[in-house]
Structure formats: C-alpha cells, structure tokens
Structure 1
Amino acid sequence: MSISLVIGDGGVVPPPSVRPVANVIHDDAEAVAVARDIAPRLGEGAVERDRKDLFPAAELDIYSTSGLWGMTVPRAYGGAEVSYVTVGNVIQVISAADSSIGQLTQNHLATVAVIRSAGTDEQKADLFAEILRGKRFGNAFSEIGTRTVSDLKTTFVREGQDVIVNGVKHYASGAIAADLVQIVALDDEGRGWLTIADRTASGLTVINDWAAFGQRGTGSGKVLIENVRIPEQRVIAAWKAYLPEKPTPDSAISQFIQAAIDAGIAEAAIAATENFVRTRTRSWVDSPAEKASDDPYTIHAFGGLHVRLSAAKALLDIAGRAIDEAINENSADSVAAAQIATAKAKILTTEIAIESTNRLFELAGTASTNRALGLDRFWRNARVHTLHDPVRWKYAIVGDYYLNGRRPPLHPWS
C-alpha cells in the first residue's frame, strides 16, 4: 500500500519498517530482467498516488528488495558491478513506471559510487554489505539561502571516535524512507565529507514539506541535523573523488542517472499519448483520415518524437560506456570524456522529456486534459525533474570542451 506523505506532528516522518533481506543481483541480464518484472507493479496506482500525494512505500520496498539498489556494488564485495549501460536501462524502465520511484534511487546509487571512489577498504566492506542486504540511502545534501548549490553551511567537528554534525538540509530525496542518511558536511578546511547517519540517530529529524507540483512521490522534504553523533568509520572523504590530480567519474554518474530518469518519463509519455490517440482522439475536422491515428500530421509528429527519443537513449548508452571506461582507466581524459558524453545525453533527455510531455496534449486533444486521467503528471514530473542541473550549462561545457579543450569542472553537477 501507499502511505500519506504527512505523517505525525508537523509532518515529521518516522523511519521505515523492517524489510526482508534483499535479493542479490548476479549480472547485467538479471538486473534488466528484474526491472522489467517489477515495473508493472511499481506503476500500479501511480495516478492515484500523484493525485493524493501518497508516498510509494510498498512499491519502494518491492524495488529495493529486488536487489537493484545493490546492482553497482563491486564484485570484490559480493555485488554484480553491472555496467552503467545497464544502470541506465534499469533506471529508464523504473522511471517509465513511476518517475518518483526512479528518482529515489539516484542519490543512493551516487553514494555507492562515492563509497567506491573515496571509501577506505573497511568502509567499503561495511557499507557494501549493508547495501547488499537491502539498506537504502537517503539524501541530505542541498541547502537553501546560499549563493550557489555548492555553498554549504552544514559542518561537523570531531569528538573522540565520532563526529558531531549540525545543519539543515532541503530537497532531501529519499531521506523519508532511508535506513541510512548520507549528510554532506564540511570540515574545518571547507572540504565536503559524507557523514552517514542511521535514520534513527538522535537529533536527526525528517520533515515532509515537499510542495512541488511534480515528482510528488519523492517526498523530497527537509532534514534537521542537531548534534547528530556519527561514528568516524561512517565518515567518507567525498572530496577526494573530485581531485584534479586523481579524478573519478562520480560527477558523470550522478548526472547520468538524472538523464536516465528523464528518458523514462519521455518514453512513458509517448506511450500514453499513442494509446490515447489510438483509442480516444478524433480526427480533426479538415483531415481526410477516418481515425486520428491515420492523420498525416499526427503520424509525422510521432515519428519525430520517436527519432529524438531514440537519439537520447543512444547517447545514454554511449555515456554509460564512457563511464565504465573512466572507472577502469581512472584518468583525467577518460573522466572528462565521460562527463562530456553524459552532458550530451542530459541535453537530449531533458529536451525530449519536455517536448513529449507537452505534445501529449496537443496530439491527444482536449479530452486528455481530464484530471481523472492523470496525464498531466508526465509534464509536471518532467518539468520539475529536468530543473536539476540546467542544460544551458551542459551546452556550454560541451562547446568549451571541443572549441577550447577545457575539461568540465569536477563536481556533482557536471
């Protein structure tokens, strides 16, 4: 079942209930097959959840216990270490079913990448085992009221074998249903660390104040961090993943998953439009066609949508392969190539997500705007989610790379 996002006094959300141990994915083929198997169940009730602001609690449990949240754990630690081409395909399938559920994976998988890049051997053994058992990470990264998204006020101080963290986070996708909350906090040198708190830690409060008109099921609310004590072995030097002298593809990985979500939204919107045009839409008064699906202008429009979606998905596959190469080579050139390939994919997935969800109504007609159908959720979800990391800057870094030979900046938004 789904649950209301507003739970408890003042929207304070309790930690998730105990779940079965997760399945362990063994290879790429299994990951894709599992995604396709569970997607119909995740998509059931998506319209009602969106309309009533319900959080997909049971659906999220199906997703995380399927083993897909552990699919990128390295083989050396018991995981499948699937390719990022496979990651992109899985996220597209899940996001086509419900893009809010797809987004809830994004920060979790990005954290797996940071653990791999910057964690110690002991931290990897500890946290990867937790992930394979089915533990979910929830984001506590962004803040508001600062000049840019990279300017943070949350800090920690060391006290014995622990650190004490204080701050306030917003847009905390996934924290509402997390087992572990990865809090980005600065040390006294201004470097960013992942301080990983248990969801039940004293002083950690998750509040649902998410009020956006799209991606409602993410519950991307606020996290209060008041003297939260975290063992030092759960504190990861995330800043090391972005050193120019030893770069990693972590920034590309984060952006790649965002792009895959948008491709999933576009694919679902196009499919919904096609179904509506075939079954409900009437031919225009001046059209010689008996059915709307035989109207030449409509056929042309669908052809264009499919061409651009295919191009976006192809660029996602190229970006996935570039990320895999950067992980293996771990050089400045391979990381930059992965960032550029991902930026290209992000541009096209953003544009086709906006175009397809907007043209849904133009092609399907007035009847498609009936609120009971919930078709507007595709546009609202696309419009909200594509605001992550604006593509005007993606065009800029791609152009600068080819024209001036400048590599993209190393941070989670490029």
Structure 2
Amino acid sequence: MTDTVETVVDPGTAARIRTADEAITAATRLAGSFARGAAERDRDRVLPYPETDELAAGGLLAITVPVEFGGADLPPSVVAEVFRILATADPNIAQIPHSHFVYVNLLRLAADREQQQRFFTQVLSGGRIANAQSERGGKTVADIATRITQHSNGFHLDGEKFYCTGSLFADTLAVLARLDEPAGDLDIGEYIAFIPADSAGVEIVDDWTGMGQRTTGSGTIRFDGVDVRHEDLVSRAPAVSAPAGYGAFAQLLHVAIDAGIARGALTAAVEFVRTRSRPWFEAEVDRAVDDPLLVQRFGELAVSVGTAEATLAAAGRAVDATLEGTGSAADASLAVAVAKVVADRSANEVSSALFEVSGTRSAGADLGLNHFWRNARTHTLHDPVRWKYQHIGRSVLRDEDPPRHGVI
C-alpha cells in the first residue's frame, strides 16, 4: 500500500449541487482560487491535495449521479463546461477528475442496481474514483495484461498500470482487467474492478515525469494478489458496445480541457501585453496594444479560441442528445471528433503564440507562462487527432459510423 493516498472528505460532508447554474457558479469560484499558484504548482510539482479536496467537498464530483440516487444528473454539456472553466485556471486539476466522471458513467450504463446504490452513495459523500486502465507493455494501448482470477473466496487481481491519472487523490480505483475463464455468472471478457485504493496488495507509485500535466498523479499502480469481490466487478462491454455515447462523453471532457487551456493561454497573453510588453519600435506607437500587427494576431488567436469553444458546445449538445434519445451515438462521436481536432489545434497554437505576442521577457522561467504550452502539448497526446480525421473522412465519403471502442 502507499501512504500518499488520503481520504479527506468524510462521508456526508460534501455539498449537494442541484442545477446547472449552481455547477457553473461553483466551478467559476473554484477556478478563481485554483488560478492563483497554478504556474508554481506545475513548475515545482506541488500536488494539489487541498484543491482536489475542495472539488469533492463542493459537490462538483457528484453532478452526474442520477436523480433516483440523489444526484443532479446534469447533462454532458454542463460537465464539459465545468471542465473547461477549471482548465482555464489549472489544466492539471481539470484532468484529475476526468476518469472519475467516465467511471461514474460506466456505473450508470453497466452496473447493477446494488452496485449503483453503493458507489453513487460514496460519490455523493465526496468519494473520488481514479483510473487504472492503460499499460505500458502491450503491443498497443488496447492490450490488457492485468488479470482477474477466481479463487475459493472470490477473485484476485494482478498486474501493473500506468498513466493512472488521479490515483494519488482517490479513494476508489477503477481497474481494467481481463477474466480469461468463466466464473459463475461472469463470462470471459474485460471488467472494471472497483476497489479501495488502500487495499492490501495495491502499490501506488508517484513516478509520473511528463513535461506537462505534472501534478495529475498519473503514475504507476501495481496489483499483487489484491482481493476483489464479485460485487465489485462491472463488465465493460455494456457501456462500450452499446450506442450510449460512452466514448463520446469521455472524449468530450478531453476536448473541454484543451479548449480551457487555449482560453487560459489567451487570457494570460492579453494580460501580459496590456501590462508588461513594450511595443516594437517599427510600429511607432506608445503601447504594445496599439501595434497593428499585434492587434491582428490577437484577432486570429481569439477566432481560434472562439471556434474551439463553439465546437465544444456543439459537441456537448450532440452528446446530450444521445442520452436524451433524440440523437445517435455515431453523430455524437463525430461531433466530438471535430471538436477534438479544433481544440487540439487551438490549445497548441495559442499556448505557443503567447510568447510570440508577449515578447522576450515573457519567456522568463520565474513567470511560469510555459505551463500552458507544456500542458497543451502533453494533454493533446491523448487519442491522436489523426484518427479523428480518419473517422470523420470515412463518415463523409462512405457513410461509415465510427467504431464503438470507447475512445471516440
């Protein structure tokens, strides 16, 4: 076990958010707080334990719990806007609960009622879920070596995961593993094991060394003979293979993070040029903001960010429609793919252009403005956009629906 996992929010102490307006207000308030010190946390790799506690205690992590279990059941478009707002302030903090929302959605789509009651109650009380999904050793990211094996009193879980975002801050781990032999009413296939993060045989290692998203807790977790109960296993297939928008919802939140980074970088550039930049002498103006070439460039960057935000909003409505039964999962996935391409481009462009428009002094390490670019470049490596273009093109040319594999 690791001594870095902390459960700070006591059961029953988390606030309840009931409406979209309450969620947006809470996210905006927290973003204002999180923005202060974001560059320093990223530069010095100060893990945001107090900030993630605030997220949980404020009730934002429970906004998708279904109404019948006591939650607000807010739609994906609202969740995406919450993520976007948080990412404008600190993309690390915005990414930490990504898997939490994805696995709350999986519980909604694939768990039985007893499992839903148990885990949704934990979430409403401030509980946090982190992923243990990806692995380093397989031929592709889709190859899973972690195994669930049956024994006399239940099951054992063995394997090693990486990119386990949020694991340092969670009290429940959602572990993707394979069952290779039928076990009672459980068929062969992929399952998510929902286990306490402090279970015997779990080792959470803080070894994430990415150049960006440095404080997301995205390191290694090892599982050595971890006891798992039958009632903690949820088949992944019903969520991934059904036309329920599971993958589109997960991808939508990634888009929101990228769009938030783009807006945050633009806001930082505007503030720097207004308050600290000197005009280029050939412009023959007294203020940098009056340089016509800078005005032009800021106009271009504002269009880039505005387009990313508009396509994010459109994608959010498409995913909403899937859940409401008024739209198709294929249309939602394609709308999210378009938004991902646009937000990827905007986040990387604007976070780099921040230095172009601000001048040499903006490159000072003490300012930490490079965290926008490092975070953008790192986070946009999720799910390469070259394959988004492929699925969009196949739809346009051949009327092909995108695949249901959970990442589009």
TM-score normalised by L of structure 2: 0.95
1:14 aligned residue (4, 27, 34): 4
Kept in 2, the 8 Å contact 1:343–1:398? The answer is yes
Distance 1:159 1:329 in 2: 42
1:160 shift after superposition: 4.9
Distance 2:285 2:404 in 1: 54
* Alignment size in residue pairs: 400
1:238 shift after superposition: 1.2
* Residues 161/75 of structure 1: CA separation in 2 closer, same or farther (3 Å cut): farther
Q: Secondary structure at the match of 1:55?
A: coil
Are 1:413 and 2:403 counterparts? no
Are 1:57 and 2:42 counterparts? no
Kept in 2, the 8 Å contact 1:161–1:232? The answer is no
Q: How does 1:36-51 map to 2 (within 5 A)?
A: 36-51=28-43
What percentage of aligned pairs have identical amino acids?
Answer: 36
Amino acid at match of 1:196: F
Q: How does 1:237-248 map to 2 (within 5 A)?
A: 237-243=235-241, 246-248=242-244
Q: What is aligned with 2:293? A: 297
Kept in 1, the 8 Å contact 2:7–2:171? The answer is no
Kept in 1, the 8 Å contact 2:243–2:328? The answer is no
Amino acid at match of 1:122: E
Residue by residue, what CA displacement relative to the aligned partner does 1:47-77 show, whole Å, maximum 9, x if unpaired?
Answer: 2211211100001101111111111111111
Q: Secondary structure at the match of 2:282?
A: coil
1:386 aligned residue (374, 380, 385): 380
Kept in 2, the 8 Å contact 1:22–1:133? The answer is yes
1:328 shift after superposition: 2.4
Distance 1:43 1:257 in 2: 19
Q: What is aligned with 2:256? A: 260
Kept in 1, the 8 Å contact 2:201–2:223? The answer is yes
Are 1:274 and 2:266 counterparts? no
Kept in 1, the 8 Å contact 2:91–2:375? The answer is yes
* Residues 380/180 of structure 1: CA separation in 2 closer, same or farther (3 Å cut): same
2:307 aligned residue (305, 311, 314): 311
TM-score normalised by L of structure 1: 0.94
1:219 shift after superposition: 1.8
Kept in 2, the 8 Å contact 1:107–1:173? The answer is yes
Kept in 1, the 8 Å contact 2:8–2:53? The answer is no
Q: Secondary structure at the match of 1:58?
A: helix
In structure 1, the gaps of 5 or more residues are 1-7
Q: What is aligned with 1:158? A: 150
Kept in 2, the 8 Å contact 1:94–1:264? The answer is yes
Q: What is aligned with 1:3? A: none
Q: Secondary structure at the match of 1:299?
A: helix
* Residues 71/161 of structure 1: CA separation in 2 closer, same or farther (3 Å cut): farther
Kept in 2, the 8 Å contact 1:312–1:348? The answer is yes
Residue by residue, what CA displacement relative to the aligned partner does 1:380-401 show, whole Å, maximum 9, x if unpaired?
Answer: 0000000001111111111111
Which shifted more, 286-295 or 265-274? 286-295
Q: Secondary structure at the match of 2:344?
A: helix
Are 1:363 and 2:357 counterparts? yes
Kept in 1, the 8 Å contact 2:9–2:127? The answer is no
1:17 shift after superposition: 3.7
Residue by residue, what CA displacement relative to the aligned partner does 1:281-334 show, whole Å, maximum 9, x if unpaired?
Answer: 11112112221111111111111111121111111111111111111228xx70
Amino acid at match of 2:343: T
Amino acid at match of 2:6: P
Kept in 2, the 8 Å contact 1:31–1:71? The answer is yes
Distance 2:152 2:248 in 1: 36
Q: How does 1:331-346 map to 2 (within 5 A)?
A: 334-346=328-340
Q: What is aligned with 1:324? A: 320
In structure 2, the gaps of 5 or more residues are 182-187
Distance 2:67 2:200 in 1: 34
Distance 2:324 2:302 in 1: 33
Distance 2:289 2:365 in 1: 23
Q: Secondary structure at the match of 1:196?
A: strand
Kept in 2, the 8 Å contact 1:13–1:208? The answer is no
Amino acid at match of 1:230: V
1:145 shift after superposition: 2.1
